[in-house]
A and B are shown apart, each in its own frame.
Chain A
Amino acid sequence: MNHASEPQNVDNPGEVNTGKHWRRLAPVALLYFIASNIKSTVQSALYIIPALAISVQTTSVIDTQWFWPAVCAIIALIVISGIVSYLFYQFRVRNSHVEIRTGLFNRRHINLPFWRIQNVKVERPFYYRPTQFAVVVLDTAGSAKEEAKIVAVTQRYANRLRAQILNERTEFLQNEESAEAREPVEDTESVSQSPGQDTVINRRSLSDLVIHGITNNRVWIILGALAPFYDDLAGMVSDWLSRHGLQLEQLVGSSSVTWWQWGLYAFTIMMLIMALMALLSIGGSLLTYYGYTLTRSDDRYVRKSGLLSQQEVSMRQSRVQMVAVKQDWLDRVLKRANVFFEQNKTGNQQNQELMAPNKLLVPSVTLPEAGALCEEVLPDSRLFSQTFSPVTPFYLAHHLLVRLFPVAVIVALILILEQQWQALSVAVTAAVVVSIAIWLRYKRWGVARDDNYIYVRSGIIGEDFQVFPLYKVQQVVIKQSVMMKRRQLASIKFVLASGSVTVPFLKEVQVRQLANLALADVERSARSWM
């Protein structure tokens, strides 16, 4: 082990290897550890602040004898844990691998090959400014939480390391997919191709967007924009009503209005709100998707749309992990569907589906168009000419008998004992509706495969499809309960970089076939998923 605290004594230009010995960080890293401790403490303390504020008001916490010792203890803890993190942090870079060892109690040993690193960031927090040091953040496709950091190296070394990693990655990509020039690891999605080769794949007309507005609730776009004005709006509405002789407060409290009049009022207001929502939704749809064009330039798909500000989203074809065709009941009535090109997601984004940055949406296309789009992105895929093999009836049995039935019986028994007949009838209706939904879903579930793709169909009233190439599978998981094993059944989950796809209650033979086929395709073809 090398106790020299200087990681930067590799001064051969272009040389990034630190050799066999583990290295400590420069002492300035202490600042970083302490700062990040403070940050996480403050973040977790945010929840306590209200409680603290109240206790400060009611009792005089600051005056108690233990307050200042407690504050000191917390500060001491932060500093000590920073020092410990520093002392127990070691790294080395060799053979095109970054290795990091951290932790006092929980020892972690991270091993990161250069060519698996998706992105390298060199950060300089403000307290590093006076020094020559920088933080290297290594981003793998894992998740945002799992990124690795080399906390304090000289800026020169950081830049060399970055150059080396990016270099190696480009080399790796080139080796992997025959000879084809490409840019060194892209930073942000930007389009820099010659515009001459652009071909328009899809356009959405005004009527398409109106349909999209009706079938997909886009009210939130407008509601979000109006948020600052809610109070004023509420004031305006009640003013307007009172000018027309309607006092909301009076109306609610008055006994002169009978229940059916009330019902009528409520109904009318509901209808008005619904109509308004639909209009707003169409407005929202037009706002975001006006002039929608999907073009292909070289290996990129570019989406341009927007009424006021034009957005441009681009996605490389090789990045598309899966194509999803989604259709809910209203879409089904109008024979439309939304098509999503899904690429890998980084971190735990909790985004509304229609706006998720890792998805490229083609709104409300007709079914033949959906098939064509799917074939465009995933060559040779034949979505609509597949015969889907259904899931076994045990799916139905499981959900109806094991899941729904016990709950329904318990609720029913309680309601009967309490003699709540009205509630009982509601519960029974609900159970029937849920059963029908389960049955419909059972009818929809299905899986099909051809030589290159797996197709999964699901949905209740509308039909949803998911299509992905076998070789882009990241991991395969087979699940089987004791009962399922006895009946030779299993569920299968394909983990893709864009999320996972599950098909429940298939025959075990079928599951084995699918799993082995996907694995063989991944391992035999050795093609990159990016």
Chain B
Amino acid sequence: MTENDSSAVAAFENREVDVKTLPDMMAVSMQPISPRYRWLNLTVAVAAVVIVSAILSFFRYQSFMAVPFGLERFYTMAIVVVCTLGALSFIYHLLADKKIKYCLREQDLVMQHGLIFRKIACQPILRIQHIELKRGPLDRVADLACLQVFSAGGAMHTFEIPGLRLTDAQKVRQYILNHKELDAK
């Protein structure tokens, strides 16, 4: 668009805005994502530890072939590392997944997440370029979906709500698509 001359004057009219009466993006009532997401992550953390430890133990104690480079010396260390990482991931998801909340407003999507650093992001629907629903194999087992919303802000700032129930994700997507048709045309 051009902002030159007359159109610019009209476009940059000095409206008075009472900031206090504006809708507040930090004060919306957020709804949590599906609790299954947390269960899924916790299960994955435990399963990963069990499987990796099992593989390591298998190689340590099998008798078909010699372990190369004397790697069996590091067996205990490896198990400790795997368990620590698993425990950290478990604790993180235990605490952090509950904090992921979102809210669909008439004009935008708001999402909050983060354990120590709380991040609240707000994506105006008008600025959405395209939408994607992503479902990994585990997501599909748990009937979950991850809604990705792309704006022109670039890949670094993709707005992503994980762990939505599939039906909810589809509803949100449909809402956004309908919204744009109403609004943009």
Contact = CB atoms under 8 A, between A and B. Distances in A.
A520 B17 contact: yes
A344 B152 CA distance: 8
Interface centre among B1, B2, B114, B133 (most CB of A within 10 A): B1
B51 interface: no
Contact of A475 (B1, B14, B133, B151): B151
Contacts of B134: 106-109
A146 B131 CA distance: 11
Given A106-B134, A108-B132, A317-B3, A380 B12 contact: yes
B130 to A, nearest CB: 5
Nearest to B183: A526
A54 interface: no
B169 to A, nearest CB: 10
B117 A481 contact: yes
B19 interface: yes
A499 to B, nearest CB: 8
B157 A495 contact: yes
Nearest to A318: B1
Contacts of B157: 474-475, 477, 495, 500
Interface residues of A, number: 68
Nearest to A345: B154
Contacts of A112: 130
A466 to B, nearest CB: 15
B19 A513 contact: yes
A55 to B, nearest CB: 16
B56 interface: no
A230 B17 CA distance: 62
Contacts of A529: 127, 152
Interface string B97-132: 000000000011000001011111111101111111
B80 interface: no
Nearest to B177: A111
A111 B12 contact: no
Nearest to A496: B153
Interface in B144-165: 150-159
A478 B26 contact: yes
B107 to A, nearest CB: 4
A60 interface: no
A379 B130 contact: no
A499 B154 CA distance: 8
A178 interface: yes
Contact of A106 (B25, B136, B177): B136
Interface stretch (A135-143, A221-229, A256-264): A135-143
B18 to A, nearest CB: 10
B36 to A, nearest CB: 17
B185 interface: yes
Contacts of B177: 97, 111, 113
Contact of A479 (B1, B118, B140, B183): B118
10 contacts: A107-B134, A108-B135, A113-B130, A116-B128, A142-B155, A172-B184, A474-B151, A495-B153, A517-B17, A519-B107
| 6 tightest Cβ-Cβ pairs between the two chains A and B | A141-B152, A495-B153, A143-B155, A497-B152, A142-B150, A299-B2
Interface of B: 1-4, 7-8, 11-12, 14-15, 17, 19, 22-26, 107-108, 114, 116-124, 126-137, 140, 150-159, 173, 177, 180-181, 183-185
